[in-house]
Amino acid sequence: MSPNPFTLVKLAFSPHKWSTRRSSSVQSMRPREQWELPVPGIYEYKPGRGWYLVEYIENADTGSVSDLGTATTAKHERLPRKVVYCKVLHRMMFETEYEDRRRFEYVKTNSSFDVQQLGFFRLDDNVTYVPCWDRFGHFIEGPYERWCVDPTTKRMRPMKFQDAVIEGQERESRRDSWERTQKQSVSDVSAPCSVCSSPSVTSLRKAKYEGRDSISTIATNSRAQGTALTTPSSGVLTSQTTSDEVNAEALHAELMKLRDP
């Protein structure tokens, strides 16, 4: 059967009809999985492009994958949304959030006096940054030094102790909490240190001080041996022999009697 000339001319001027569309079959073969992070939903892998969020799941049961067909799509964001793997936090994140947390800046490190460019990534506390990329964009494995944005210069600098973040507190409240902790650790010597968890001050005290007996030890020995002021035979302070403390006024009066007979 000879080809129809009209059909040949029609196909020659219609390049979009030269290939057969198979998008529906290819799309049905793409793997889909249900994840809980970054948000509960159905994620689809597109070859050469990565993973994308294609459906939101409302009231999703964690660990259950039997309701994939009944998942409802919530119009929170425009779908699909691309997700990438974060090597710092070791979890999947939306690409938009991932790029928003990245920051490249010229800084001076402790190991070098030269200014070099580093890439920083902001952690979940929205204050702490970690340097995890070099100037060429190559990823740097941890552990990382903690950095933060200086409130005055708006530049990156190594984080200090007063920049430590307490969840749910602002910078002023964190400073007040730290000062209150310092006052408590100084006033209450019996309590352990709240910063370094060291033993209390009283538990570190000794009964003797480098070869010299303490005051309580001297008083005990003097009562046991007997002196001119504590023995019953001397007739002085007989009422104070069973007491650990000596009345200063009574002692002064007795001494004045002995001095002026």
SS (H, E, C) the chain: CCCCHHHHHHHHCCHHHCCCCCHHHHHHCCCEEEECCCCCEEEEEECCCEEEEEEECCCCCCCCCCCCCCCCCCCCCCCCEEEEEECCCCEEEEHHHHHHHEEEEEEECCCCCCEEEEEEEECCCCCCEEEEECCCCCECCCCCCCEEECCCCCCEEECCHHHCCCCCCCHHHHHHHHHHHHHHHHHCCCCCCCCCCCCCCHHHCCCCECCECCHHHHHHHHHHHCCCCCCHHHCCCHHHCCCCCCCHHHHHHHHHHHHCC
- Determine how β-strand 81-86 pairs with β-strand 115-122: unpaired
pLDDT digits over 236-255, tens only?
444 444 444 567 788 888 88
pLDDT given at position 61: 52
Q: Which regions of the chain are under pLDDT 70?
A: 1-3, 16-17, 19-28, 59-77, 109-113, 161-246, 260-261
Query: Which residues share a beta bridge with 118?
Result: 105
Task: Check residue 230 and give its pLDDT.
Answer: 43
C-alpha distance from residue 36 to each of 41, 56, 61, 63, 100 (Å): 7, 10, 9, 9, 22
The predicted pLDDT at position 66 comes to 36
**pLDDT tens digits, 9-32:** 777 877 766 765 555 555 557 788
> How many CB atoms sit inside 10 A of residue 131's CB?
20
| Distance in angstroms between the alpha carbons of the first and the last residue of the chain | 156
